Amino acid sequence: MESSQIYWNPFLEALPREHLESLQLKKFRRIFKWAYDHSKFHRRLYDEAGITPEDIRNFEDIRHVPKVEKSMMRDIQLKDPFPYGDALCVPLEEVTEFRQTSGTTGQPVYQPDTWQDWEWWAEAWSYILYAQGYRKTDRVFIPFGYNIFVAFWAGHYACEKIGSEVVPGGVLNTEARILKMQELRATAFMATPTYVLGMADTAKRKLGIDPAKDLHVQRITCAGEPGASIPTTKRRMEEAWGAKVYDHIGATEIGAWSYECLEQPGGLHVNEALFLVEIEDIETGEIITEPERPGKMVITAFDRIAQPCVRFDSKDVIQWAKDPCDCGRTFRLIKGGVIGRADDITKVKGVLLAPTAIEEVVRGIPELGNDYEVIVSKRGDVDEITLKIEILEEARSRKDEVLAKLKDQLRLKTNLGYKIEVHPYGSLPRYEVKANRFKDMRKKGH
Ligand SMILES: [Zn+2]
């Protein structure tokens, strides 16, 4: 295939690394100066650190620019102008878009965007959809009410931008959405992994529809949870739908910064034309450049102007992949997507535990249902992990065998022992958007 048929932006996505890096440096300087000149919050932060736009000459200099944490954004928003506060870089009347973060990790943060920012969102999402094979011939169903959350709005407008037909499937319930997808022969949809699996389950059990045979879906774009980068969860989704499943990671306060491509290389490309991703050691803060060493992501969006994202401390734990992707993009890959949150990757009995490792094991055992819950607690001085699972009706007679397999694989994968609780099928909480399956009772707020 011609590169123009594979890439949304054939020039930028295949730019030689040295040119890409010099473009990144130039763009970092520009957004840093923008924030320094226009945001009272950023100016205070940088003045305190004694750093000015003239000090940024290379990537090493960028590492001295103070990071912005989400908790700072909440304080900023108590200041004028209402409701965004003094990180706002444009006159209030230039803001055309209001969105907010989902608040899963605390108080929601408001996110203003100008029309230019909004076009940038659609552009970033166009890279994603195009890389995953969306074309003008697709009819894309979005099974969500978009509400005040940004992701599917941006996905909607990107469909229009690349010329796909888009069907907004909000308000309807799950059954009605599935029937509408069948009626319209939708070729693609976007959802969280939890909902992709939940919809397939509903289709089979309540409507007698087998999505893999009776529907026309060829590709699914996942967002909001790590599942599409967890091989066993991805396989479950692909088998249930008879479709290819691709991952995307983005965030309201950052933008749509990464995407899996048609090669399904076991990771996601960072859109390095629009973002600078740095990986920092969780304990020492040292910048990690070598592959396969996890650390937390510090990210800059080069072109977002209303409320800039400059060295945002995302707390997402990621790692660079060793090899470049066969698709030919020069944008680097992060291996396995987001492995966890720096706050969740916690030490249990002195061992580092990533919740995604538990999901990989649970979803790899065909006798277990899709839903599960992990609770870390303390009994006396000893940490204890409880894993709640459901066994499928048809496998109940083999319960002991299934549990033995589960315990073995958990120990192998995570080096930890678990207290397993078996719950009746269908009794654990079901989630429509983002699942909250991991609870650490040792931390405050739980
Ligand atoms: Zn690729």
For residue range 206-263, list pLDDT tens digits in order: 999 999 999 999 999 999 888 899 999 999 999 999 999 999 999 999 999 999 999 9
For range 2-7, the mean pLDDT = 78
Give distance in angstroms: CA of 292 to centre of ligand 1: 17
Say how far residue 112 (Cα) sits from the centre of its chain: 20
What DSSP designation does 116 have? H
Return all residues near 110 (Cβ < 8 A) that are at least 6 apart: 77, 83, 84, 98, 99, 100
Query: How far, in Å, are 66, 340, 408, 410 from residue 438 at the CA level?
Result: 31, 11, 21, 15
Return all residues near 35 (Cβ < 8 A) that are at least 6 apart: 42, 89, 308, 310
Give distance in angstroms: CA of 351 to centre of ligand 1: 33
Give distance in angstroms: CA of 332 to centre of ligand 1: 9
Answer whether residue 349 shows pLDDT above 90: no
Which helix (DSSP H) or strand (DSSP E) does residue 99 occupy?
Answer: strand 95-100
Answer whether residue 431 shows pLDDT above 60: yes
For range 402-430, the mean pLDDT = 91
Give distance in angstroms: CA of 220 to centre of ligand 1: 17
Where is average pLDDT lowest: 194-208, 293-307, 308-322, 329-343?
329-343
Q: List, in sequence order, the alpha helices (H) in 77-185.
A: 115-131, 151-162, 174-184
Secondary structure class of 41 (helix, strand, coil)? helix
Secondary structure class of 3 (helix, strand, coil)? helix
165 bridge partner residues? 139
- For residues 415 and 104, the model is more confident at 415
Q: What whole-number distance in Å separates Cα of residue 114 and Cα of residue 120? A: 10
Label residue 1 by pLDDT band (50, 70, 90).
low
Domains parsed from the chain with CATH numbers: 1-341 (3.40.50.12780), 346-440 (3.30.300.30)
Q: What is the DSSP string of 185-215?
A: T--EEEE-HHHHHHHHHHHHHHH---HHHHS
Neighbours of ion ligand 1 (CB under 5 A): 261, 263, 325, 327, 329
Give distance in angstroms: CA of 190 to centre of ligand 1: 20
Give distance in angstroms: CA of 240 to centre of ligand 1: 24
Label residue 345 by pLDDT band (50, 70, 90).
low
Q: What whole-number distance in Å separates Cα of residue 309 and Cα of residue 48? A: 19
